[in-house]
Structure 1
């Protein structure tokens, strides 16, 4: 994989180097900009509305000062209510206008937020679905769930309320300072002096909260991973009585999560009193300096009140800015994780100019293929193999010999490091993805059933199949009888992971699914391991008919399944050590003959 920092590499870290931090920030900003670019007009409208709303709010203190200095003397001295009514009406108008603009802003901001989240949620799902099997075998499902749930929720909270706090806080602070400088530039000098300790406090809070929230997101992901893994493996947990250990481990993670959250709370608990102290000192200085000037007749009481209100209002939104920093740090850490997933490279990329192969014959070839998982040892060193179209080949050998690796390369779950794998002379890397999935189907030992009906699961590879075609496929593999015995037959909801059917029955459904897809190449990777002896015999009878005129790769430890093969390949350490028909190899003295003899002894 290329790139500076990847989600899988940095997922469980919080101590990045300076260069890594810069790369992460650039990556996060690129993602945020790409999300906002399609809705830039909506964003511009939101910005215009918030500027207008903030400007209207800033007029309030000036109108109060004007009322005290101009309107109030007219009422007291001349009983002239005209200016008072004008100032009062203007104040009410600014309040109502500000409220209306705020309501409009809330609607517009919510629309922008939902559009961004829709785009982001869809991107994460689409990208993680397209990522290769290598990614999913290293990046746990709990971490993916964390990206789609808690991380996106944190980003939503920032967009919903955090940006409102930031924009209002910063704009209101700037507008208030400008207004104060216009009303009384001397009082504005107090804010300039207060800016020094204020900037130090803000910087301290920002840096430390960034570290705290980054740690918080890491611990949060670990907590979710532990919960998901425990619930997913609940049967194994109950079988081995791991509940006490799971409680201890989960309790430890929960306690650590509480500890890192308390650290963030303590940071804010220090920041807020510090901000209040700076604000109180600045207001006191303005009151003292302004009071002296009022006593000297160089300043009016209305202007003093206006200055005091502006200074108070300058510091009030800074608490909102601090709350934004609180939300921003959490969202920034979440955005780092999400952007890390989206930056993951496709190790099995789609071809730029795909070669169409609508009607594959099924001829397979490994041409000087070398392959190893990640940085691990080489599994297949300079591997060569020809499988003619229509031939049924059985792969046997000890665990780790490379049989399943061969199947994964044929299914293009992985690409070879060197060499090429071809179907009908076309490199799998050049094949159109739809043609490849239609031509090659793999059935594994783990027969996964998705939520929905039995019929839906059988039709997975052919969604437009009729119920007659679905039933015919089920009958062909011997699944029809048990399906009809279910509460609703083919319309029975299998629930998550096929909870209403046994492991062997799930495997039969997966066989029916593969046969309905009618591929040119069918790969069975330990696909009969979950079946009992009668079911396996029934499947073997079905296979003899259904594998006719079809290329088939059968990987099995049960040598009874090998009997239907035209050719047997014995693999050791990524190499083929024997190649022949089942009868030829059984009659010999090689490795397969020894395995066959041991298997027959085990039956006795």
Structure 2
């Protein structure tokens, strides 16, 4: 064991009452403030997006619905064809139906009218069918997107969640998905309709009169240039908008999650100011997008109206010269109005498209982000143990070193062996590396050098499910899910019977307080376990860990919220719980060391003392001085 010496550590203040305070904060965690105040990690920093990821995501989402998408496109093609026949029939009615009516022949006009009504009915029915089918496709795609975000976010490694706030992930699953929904529900239908409308009308105009047709089609050039300039401007605006709305959600969720310290430290005004800045930026980006759209619509409308006037004047001249029929000119006017009317729709589509494209980019970035602790391709099983055995497993740190992504070394290379069934307490000052050692053992991180072995198997070669069954960590957070006390204990082993759940609670000393609750084991602990005290939440977490029946148990400051009597009761129960198991105990209070077989003292990532509690107390090193100061504080 490297760095193991007896009595070489330097002394630190022991504090009063609780001995060595152990509240280690990793550099990655240090980027997230303990209070949601104005000075936070820059919100502009976002998840990188690999090239082509948004297109790949879109293809994967639409692939399973390919046949239904083709059918929907066919419906809208036929619907637009039926719709665009109308002005052509009006032209025929003017040039042929009315003259026939003057000759007392109503047949052509009746046939034209019936055809017009029939086309309108077909167009309406096809649009209804398209809306229903596209709606089903869109909902299936959105359901899959949300499911993927939720599934992938749970698989991402701890360092990702320590770097990016939960509000940012919530933004991906809410506001960004909503932006994609708006495009799918309305934008794509408008785009298909406008594109087909332009195609059909252009062809019909050329058929009716190639001269006026070419002049009319030429109007698309200035409108296209205006649309392109608008699209380029709005692209950057909507990227800012997606980042801004994510910041708003982050500010809100951080403040609500930290409402107790916010109120305790009177941070309401500072948080409101920070939220106001984020909200104003979001409002400004929305205002910029509306202003940009207004400029485009005005410019495009003016261009269209000028062009229509020019076409009508030239057409009137051709009619006066008997080179064009009046009905054809009427059809031209109707078609030109239909050609330019979608300008507003086109602007709205570009708006929806840019917003959805920016949202899809951020969603794709999240889904393309690979876990830094990947699942092994070919998992290696742990050596089998006798059925029903509570035997622990041997842990070996083999030249293990660790640095966070900042490059700062937290644990210099070290080697350490923890025999099967041994309880080891790890103590040291804040930042000494204790919690990092525990996270490496639980494989929340992978070492940047060396290997961590469990019964001779590298943790990186173990399937995550098998590792989580064999190694369980109880932290000071003692997070409880909404639901009953029994449900929260059963998290340790979902298939456990009610009797097994209650036995675990009894073994840990939690049965009495649970039965005193209004509905006993069926009491709903509510959000984050807020209905019961912090100490009671830790007892429930201990019962959960016991029910899981792991070979290796990690206690990371797990008794920090218990009072002295509660801690004593848990320690008595833990003697039974830890029997035969390998345990690593990150000690908050030196009293916790009493149940350990061995003590490791860490300083600046190194093990500076290693021995039994009795041997270290009898020595003259760091632990001895800490223990003496703690004992004096109890007098």
Aligned to 2:590: 559
Aligned to 1:252: 277
Q: Which stretches in structure 2 are left out of the alignment for 5+ residues?
A: 1-40, 386-391
Whole-angstrom CA distance in 2 between matches of 1:285 and 1:190: 9
Which structure shows the bigger proportion of residues in helix conformation? 1
Question: Which residue of the other structure, out of 51, 73, 88, is the alignment partner of 2:77?
Answer: 51
Deviation of 1:467 after TM superposition, in Å, equals 1.1
Aligned to 2:139: 114
Aligned to 1:63: 89
1:190 aligns with 2:212: no
- Native 8 Å contact 2:301 2:343 kept in 1: no
The worse-fitting range, judged by mean Cα deviation, of 146-155 and 194-203 is 194-203
1:12 aligns with 2:44: yes
Whole-angstrom CA distance in 2 between matches of 1:294 and 1:537: 104
Counterpart of 1:365 in 2: which secondary structure? Answer: strand
Alpha-carbon distance change, 24 to 326 in structure 1, aligned in 2, over 3 angstroms: farther
Question: Which residue of the other structure, out of 533, 538, 546, is the alignment partner of 2:564?
Answer: 533
Counterpart of 2:219 in 1: which secondary structure? Answer: helix
Question: Which residue of the other structure, out of 77, 88, 98, is the alignment partner of 1:72?
Answer: 98
Alpha-carbon distance change, 264 to 82 in structure 1, aligned in 2, over 3 angstroms: same
- Render the CA deviation track for 1:459-497: whole Å, top value 9, x for unaligned: 002011111111111111111111111110000011111
1:484 aligns with 2:484: no
Whole-angstrom CA distance in 2 between matches of 1:26 and 1:522: 43
Deviation of 1:318 after TM superposition, in Å, equals 2.9
Whole-angstrom CA distance in 1 between matches of 2:448 and 2:361: 30
Whole-angstrom CA distance in 1 between matches of 2:437 and 2:175: 38
Aligned to 2:32: none
Deviation of 1:242 after TM superposition, in Å, equals 1.0
Structure with more relative contact order (C-alpha pairs < 8 Å, separation 6 or more): 2
Alpha-carbon distance change, 407 to 148 in structure 1, aligned in 2, over 3 angstroms: same
- Render the CA deviation track for 1:161-181: whole Å, top value 9, x for unaligned: 111111111111111111111
Whole-angstrom CA distance in 2 between matches of 1:71 and 1:11: 67
Deviation of 1:219 after TM superposition, in Å, equals 0.9
Deviation of 1:116 after TM superposition, in Å, equals 0.7
Deviation of 1:11 after TM superposition, in Å, equals 6.6
Deviation of 1:25 after TM superposition, in Å, equals 6.5
Whole-angstrom CA distance in 2 between matches of 1:244 and 1:419: 49
Question: Which residue of the other structure, out of 611, 616, 633, is the alignment partner of 1:580?
Answer: 611
Whole-angstrom CA distance in 2 between matches of 1:381 and 1:87: 88
Whole-angstrom CA distance in 1 between matches of 2:298 and 2:383: 71
- Render the CA deviation track for 1:385-428: whole Å, top value 9, x for unaligned: 10111000010111111110111011110111111111110011
Deviation of 1:375 after TM superposition, in Å, equals 2.2
Deviation of 1:557 after TM superposition, in Å, equals 2.5
How many residues align? The count is 589
Aligned to 1:357: 382
Per the normalisation by structure 2, the TM-score is 0.91
- Native 8 Å contact 2:50 2:368 kept in 1: no
- Native 8 Å contact 1:348 1:413 kept in 2: yes
Q: Which stretches in structure 1 are left out of the alignment for 5+ residues?
A: 1-8
Aligned to 1:157: 182
Aligned to 1:166: 191
Which runs of structure 1 show a deviation greater than 6 angstroms over 4 or more consecutive aligned residues?
Answer: none
Counterpart of 1:560 in 2: which secondary structure? Answer: helix
Task: State the superposition RMSD in angstroms.
Answer: 1.6
Whole-angstrom CA distance in 1 between matches of 2:50 and 2:205: 39
Aligned to 2:422: 391
1:298 aligns with 2:329: no
Whole-angstrom CA distance in 2 between matches of 1:461 and 1:48: 53
Deviation of 1:252 after TM superposition, in Å, equals 2.2
Deviation of 1:322 after TM superposition, in Å, equals 1.4
Whole-angstrom CA distance in 1 between matches of 2:136 and 2:307: 39
